[in-house]
Structure 1
Amino acid sequence: MSHADHPAEPSKTSEPAVSELVTQLSEQTTRLVRDEMRLAQAELKEKGKHAGVGAGLFGGAGLIAFFGGATLITTIILALALLIPAWFSALIVTVALFIIAGIAALIGKKQVKKAVPPAPERTMDNVKADVNEVKEHGHR
């Protein structure tokens, strides 16, 4: 018999073993997760910079609007001073501003009361009901 007549022993093929594939998969998954985390970190850092600049610009705009409002109040006082004494026009505007502030405070107080407590009560009640339901079905 020739060498060709005997069935050949299984030779090592170029395909890796399952254990090698699992190891490679684990390494590649780890590398992929790390790379994605680095990308997310870089993206968040970039967005954070934009958010910081935006917040600064909003703050500046608010300050300018505050001064604009103060100037408008001064203009109203000076306009009233054309008709009545300046001290009286300033007093009228001051009282009007305090009334507006009081109304805003009362409305704000009502809104804050609606927000207390800050826990999501309906959601917590739903979760408790879900847990009880699971417990009941688990005992059956």
Structure 2
Amino acid sequence: MTQTGPDEGSALFAAVREDVRALLRQELRLAQTELMQKGRNAGKGTAALGGAAVCGALATAGSVVFTLRVLDRYLPPKTAAFLLTAGYGAAAGALAAWGYAQIREAMPLYPEETVENVQANVHQAFPGDSPAP
């Protein structure tokens, strides 16, 4: 039976500590990259929802009076007003649906790949241990 001296044990401990530090740094970089990508996707969805809000406001805003007057030349006033409102409403609905889909795609807002990698590393380091329920 061989015994390791104090120098060998401390060197082994230092090597393990450095390996753990390197692994943690790598996982943190991966988490940062993943969260930045999710933030970009959520930003696109948020911008689309902002566009939907603007289109919804246009459906009732006074800035549509010119278009309404043009339609009044060819259609009865009530029909012209309905068509204009329906057009802006449809645009708002389409932008809202797209924006909502972009935000859902970005969910959940935690680094999934990093969590999976850390779990795999823990299971690899401690193969006999099972996680607590």
TM range (shorter): 0.3 to 0.5
TM-score under structure 2 length normalisation: 0.44
Of the two, which has the highest radius of gyration? 1
